[in-house]
Amino acid sequence: LTASAYKPLAAYFVKFLQAYKERGIPLYAITPQNEPFNPVETYPGMSFSALDEASFITNYLGPALKNATLAPKILIYDQNWDRPDYPLEILNDPTAQRYVSGTAWHCYAGDPSMMTKIHQAYPSKDMYVTECSTGQGGIAPLSAIEFFLRSTQHWAKAVVLWNIALDISGGPKIGEGCGGCTGLVAIDQATGQFTYTDNYYHLGHLSKFVVPGAYHIASTITRASFPYDSPPEEVAFQNPDGSKVVIVYNPSSWSDTFKIRWNTHHSFVYTLPSKGIVTFKWAGKLPSPLITTMWGRKDHTSWFRLIRWFLSLLALAASLFSIPQHRDPSPLNHRFTFRGESFSAQARSPPAL
């Protein structure tokens, strides 16, 4: 982008935001450029160096938004975890930094731990993962549940999947668009049939139980006696009403038995099948958590199938409530000798989701 185009681009952002606001849609955040290292020719894209983005934000975008009394969050970078040098270069500029609310990331390369490194350097700047296409046919090296758990464990305030609904070829697209990107719902436009993808069910493990205003709370995993090197992955949250949510994923090829403990004296044991996902939710100080599982992937193309699916869930829920639970006065950091994992929730104050 030539320097002479910076001012018109900033004015375009202002008009864009104003148009949405006039229609009752105030936009939460913007990024100056999608994937600045990816100047593709098959859909809109552009190279934008960190130095140039910092200059654009400092001298044009930030002042233009302020003069128009618009206050969307400005998120920098908007590409993969493998180039933390890009957001760091902008955040190291004190003039640009004052306009920046956080960093936007994509999931296609690198490791989510990079977000923790940026957070440690600039704890007041939030992390958002603004794009990830996972699941069968997706282009990310992670499954959706791995993406959710690892991102939120590394300070992501929000995670966004590509896309809500697409046709069976991944469209509609601008030009060639994204090859291999998948949606939560796949729609066959010829027949009108639709299918919920794996991503739909993976997302439900968080979005159905972790509500707006929730906080990510610290959780620890204690390695016990395992015959393999793939322990469960987990993340914990506290909702505004005080309820706790723990999501656990078993990446191994074996079933795992583990214990979840909280409040120093409440605990229960659960066995999770290979590749299984489970969400536990309990309210306040209730000693018995509400246990919810979402295992399968189904195609709800008729009321009959929907009713059958609902009845199956009722039967599953009835069986889950028979899981034995007990109190254990052992301290939170106690190492259990049974085969499995131990989780303990301890409060901290990371950013709200």
* 32 backbone dihedrals φ, ψ, rounded to 5°: -60, -35
Q: Which of 35, 89, 233, 341 is catalytic?
A: 35
**Catalytic residue flag (residue 131):** yes
220 shares a domain with 145: no
- Copy the structure tokens of residue 227: 């015959």
Is the residue at 353 inside a domain?
no
Confidence of residue 258 (pLDDT cuts 50, 70, 90): confident
Where a domain ends, among 168, 183, 207? 207
**Is residue 309 classed as helix, strand or coil in its secondary structure?**
helix
**Catalytic residue flag (residue 41):** no
321 shares a domain with 261: yes
Q: How far is CA 12 from CA 22, 50, 63, 160, in A?
A: 15, 21, 13, 25
Q: Which of 89, 131, 233, 341 is catalytic?
A: 131
Instruction: Count how many Cα atoms sit within 13 Å of the Cα of residue 91 in the half-sphere of its side chain.
Output: 23
Average pLDDT over residues 255-281: 87
Residue 297 identity (one-letter amino acid): R
Is the residue at 351 inside a domain?
no
- pLDDT tens for 212-229 read 999 999 888 765 544 556
| Contact call for residues 33 and 78 (beta carbons, < 8 A) | yes
Domain count, the chain: 2
Read off the CATH number of the domain in which 116 is found. 3.20.20.80
88 shares a domain with 46: yes
Lowest mean pLDDT of 77-91, 106-120, 314-328, name the range: 314-328
**Which of 160-164, 266-270, 343-347 tops mean pLDDT?**
160-164
Give the model's pLDDT for residue 200: 95
306 shares a domain with 275: yes
23 shares a domain with 114: yes
Confidence of residue 340 (pLDDT cuts 50, 70, 90): very low
- pLDDT tens for 62-79 read 999 999 999 999 999 999
Give the model's pLDDT for residue 285: 56
Alpha-carbon 67 to chain mean position: 33
200 shares a domain with 219: no
126 shares a domain with 147: yes
Give the model's pLDDT for residue 293: 43
Q: Which residue has the tokens 């018109």?
A: 8
203 shares a domain with 248: no
| Domain, as residue range, for 296 | 215-346
Where a domain ends, among 207, 227, 253? 207
The answer for residues whose C-beta is within 8 angstroms of residue 245's C-beta and 6 or more apart is: 209, 210, 214, 236, 237, 238, 239, 279, 280, 281
Average pLDDT over residues 274-286: 84
Is the residue at 27 inside a domain?
yes
Give the model's pLDDT for residue 256: 85
Lowest mean pLDDT of 87-96, 117-126, 285-294, name the range: 285-294
Q: How far apart are CA 305 and CA 301, in angstroms?
A: 7
Please state, for a pLDDT cut of 70, what percent of the chain lies above it: 78
Lowest mean pLDDT of 119-123, 272-276, 286-290, name the range: 286-290
- pLDDT tens for 11-47 read 999 999 999 999 999 999 999 999 999 998 888 889 9
174 shares a domain with 33: yes
